Every structure is written in structure tokens, then in C-alpha cells.
A = this chain, B = another copy of it.
Amino acid sequence: MSYEKRLRSPTIKDVAEAAGVSSATVSYVLNNLNKVTPEVDAHVRRIARELGYQRNRAATALKTGRSHAIGCIVPSLVSPVFPEITQAVQLRAEEHGFATFVIDSGGGVQREAQAARTLFTHGVDGAVAVLSTHSSITDPPLFPLVAIDRQIVGLDSVQADHHTGGRLMAEHAFALGHRKIGLLSGEQDLASSRERRDGFLEGARGRLDIVWDIHVPLLSTLPREATRAIARRKVSLIACVNDLVAISALSVLRKEGIDVPSEVSVIGFDDMQWSAWPLIGLTTIRQPLAELGRRAVDLLIRRLDEPKSEIENMVLPVSLVQRASTAPFPSPHGC
């Protein structure tokens, strides 16, 4: 514990003294409370600027209980989707005058709880979070909390319209003429994976033939069962629970010497930024990631201002982005 205190920077008292007024006056000016004469106001502001005064948030936080900081808990910063959400969260928070504590929870339930406690002792006013399916930090939450990409009882939430996204995939497949379909669904305990699959099945009902439907983990390597199914060449289109899985499918196809899209089309979900690379060119369903982050912050701010307002569960629209990985079937040029 042997180190210097932070550089002593001018306090409100220093400003008051230099301006020849009381510290209360300075506080009133700096908080724009319109309680002082224009001349004094201008004078105080000038002195404050000259002295390079910076408000000490710790003191403010202690006195008012508000820190003007929010937390943002994500399962991983090294991921195709969360950084984009996080970036948007931070930017929007800044627009509202809030700083952001980002915490990479690693995805576990305990670590999420730990993250929440950390945020609490550091006095955040609230947080937005991408939580695991059954998180323990919600009951009771230590502070106002907005769930992203999940709906959790008692919390405001924002998520993409996974169901419609699934349906769009099916409609796109049908419109291109595909009939024999392979499905790489995610584990069905995750609501978003389930909804995507349900949406697809709804869009497929009566007109698409689901030849196989394999539940795979959301990783970049596919289980044996999946690679075998792909190699068997019984389908002309593979619909995947997300882009990461779709890219794994692409690489299996490549290894098997099956051309995309002339022999098999592939469609993903998320539109993570690398899906747009020409080298990959994945047709996919775009989630409005940045918008999710922004809306989450807006909901949080609203909850802070009006704690009693009704809980809101937002669902944002998704859209199909067509790229090089899907093509009409049967292929006009033949194989």
C-alpha cells in the first residue's frame, strides 16, 4: 500500500475560493440548477475552466448514490457478436453521460453473480447483460438490469426476432427452389436457438423436406454426426443456427470437394462482421447488434428515471442478407 494518492486536482472548494463565492454556489452552477445570477454563473464557469476543475465522481456517488456509470456483462469479449453490442452500449451510454464498466463473465452462472457483485461495489447505477439461460443474479437484482438477447421474468429486455429470422431462412430456401434441406440447429435449451428452429419449421411446413436436423453446440467445430450428414450429399441447402456453425459447414463442404453454392447452398444467422468478407460471403440473417445494445441502454436509463414504469420486452426486426453462399436450385449452369 505504499503509493501516492492521485494527483491532487482542484476541488470545488478551490474553485469557490478562487471565484470568491461559496462552494454551494459552485455546485449549483456546475449542476446547471439555474439558481445563480448570470454574471456569477459565467464567472464561476470561467474560473473552473481555468483551474482545470474535474468533478470527483466518487464524492458525488457517495453523496447522491448515483455514479453515472453502468455495467455491461457479456459472456465473452472474444466472440463474433458481443463486441459489437458492447461497443454500441458504451457509445450510447456516453451519450447519456454514463461511463461503462465492461465485464467478460466467461459465461458461467457463478461468474455472472461475481460480476454483478463487482459492479455493485463499484457503485454502478445499473447494468445491461447477456446472461446465461438461468442466471442467479436476477433474484433480487442488486440494481436495475436489462437483459439482452434473452427474456427474463421481472427484467426489461431487448432481443432480435429469432422466430421471424428462422422463417425468413425457410422462405429464402423455398424461393430459390430448394426442397431437400439439412438443419444444423443449436442446443434447444437456449431460447434463441429454439425460436430460430421453430421459425424455420413454420416457414418450411408443407413445402420443404427436412432431411436431417442435428443439434450442434455453438462452436466453430462440428460434431462427427454433422460432418457425416453433410458429406452424404442428400440436401441442397443447409440452414445453420448461426454464422459460426455455417462457416464450419462451409469448411467441411470445401474439404469434401462439394462446391458452394452450385451444389449446396448454406445460410447462417447473425451477420457477424466477418461473414461479409468476400472470402466467406455468407448469406445470413442480420441481427441488429448495435441497435440491441443501444436500445438496452435506453431501456436502462428509462428505468433509472422512472423506476415504476412498466417492464418492457422489445423485439427488434431481422433481415435477410443475400451473399454468395446461396443460389437457385437446381443450378441453372448445372454442376
- Which residues of A pack against B, CB within 8 Å? 2-7, 9, 54-59, 61-62, 64-69, 76-79, 83-84, 86-87, 90-91, 94, 99-104, 117-123, 125, 142-143, 220, 247, 250-251, 254-255, 273-274, 277-280, 304-307
Contact between chains at B90 and A277 (CB < 8 Å): no
- In the complex, what residues of B have CB within 8 A of residue A119's CB? 99
Q: How far is the CB of A3 from chain B (nearest CB, A)?
A: 5
Contact between chains at B67 and A78 (CB < 8 Å): no
Q: How far is the CB of A303 from chain B (nearest CB, A)?
A: 8
- In the complex, what residues of B have CB within 8 A of residue A7's CB? 142-143
- In the complex, what residues of B have CB within 8 A of residue A255's CB? 278
Which chain B residue has the least Cβ–Cβ distance from A82?
A: B83
From B54, B58, B118, B125, contact of A62 by CB (8 A): B58
Contact between chains at B102 and A100 (CB < 8 Å): yes
Measured between alpha carbons, how far is A145 from B215 in the docked complex, in Å?
Answer: 47
In the complex where A90-B102, A278-B251, A279-B247 touch, is A57 in contact with B6 (Cβ < 8 A)?
Answer: no
- In the complex, what residues of B have CB within 8 A of residue A66's CB? 5-6
Top 10 nearest A-B pairs (CB, nearest first) are: A5-B65, A58-B61, A102-B102, A251-B278, A77-B87, A251-B279, A77-B83, A58-B62, A6-B65, A58-B123
Contact between chains at A87 and B91 (CB < 8 Å): no
Copies of this protein chain in the complex: 2
Measured between alpha carbons, how far is A125 from B5 in the docked complex, in Å?
Answer: 9
- In the complex, what residues of B have CB within 8 A of residue A101's CB? 69, 99-102
Measured between alpha carbons, how far is A125 from B6 in the docked complex, in Å?
Answer: 7
Measured between alpha carbons, how far is A76 from B123 in the docked complex, in Å?
Answer: 26
Interface-centre pick from A57, A68, A77, A254 (highest chain B CB count, 10 A): A77
Measured between alpha carbons, how far is A126 from B318 in the docked complex, in Å?
Answer: 41
From B6, B58, B307, contact of A4 by CB (8 A): B307
Contact between chains at B277 and A220 (CB < 8 Å): yes
- In the complex, what residues of B have CB within 8 A of residue A305's CB? 2-3
Measured between alpha carbons, how far is A102 from B72 in the docked complex, in Å?
Answer: 10
Contact between chains at A77 and B67 (CB < 8 Å): no
Measured between alpha carbons, how far is A304 from B58 in the docked complex, in Å?
Answer: 19
Contact between chains at A304 and B3 (CB < 8 Å): yes
Contact between chains at A83 and B78 (CB < 8 Å): yes
Q: Could you jot down 11 A-B contacts, CB within 8 Å?
A: A2-B306, A5-B64, A9-B120, A56-B123, A58-B67, A59-B62, A67-B122, A68-B122, A77-B84, A99-B118, A279-B280
Which chain B residue has the least Cβ–Cβ distance from A85?
A: B77
Measured between alpha carbons, how far is A250 from B117 in the docked complex, in Å?
Answer: 46
Contact between chains at A122 and B99 (CB < 8 Å): yes
- In the complex, what residues of B have CB within 8 A of residue A87's CB? 76-78, 104
Contact between chains at A307 and B121 (CB < 8 Å): no
Contact between chains at B90 and A86 (CB < 8 Å): no
- In the complex, what residues of B have CB within 8 A of residue A76's CB? 87
Contact between chains at B86 and A77 (CB < 8 Å): yes
Measured between alpha carbons, how far is A79 from B55 in the docked complex, in Å?
Answer: 33
Contact between chains at A273 and B142 (CB < 8 Å): no
- In the complex, what residues of B have CB within 8 A of residue A279's CB? 247, 250-251, 254, 279-280
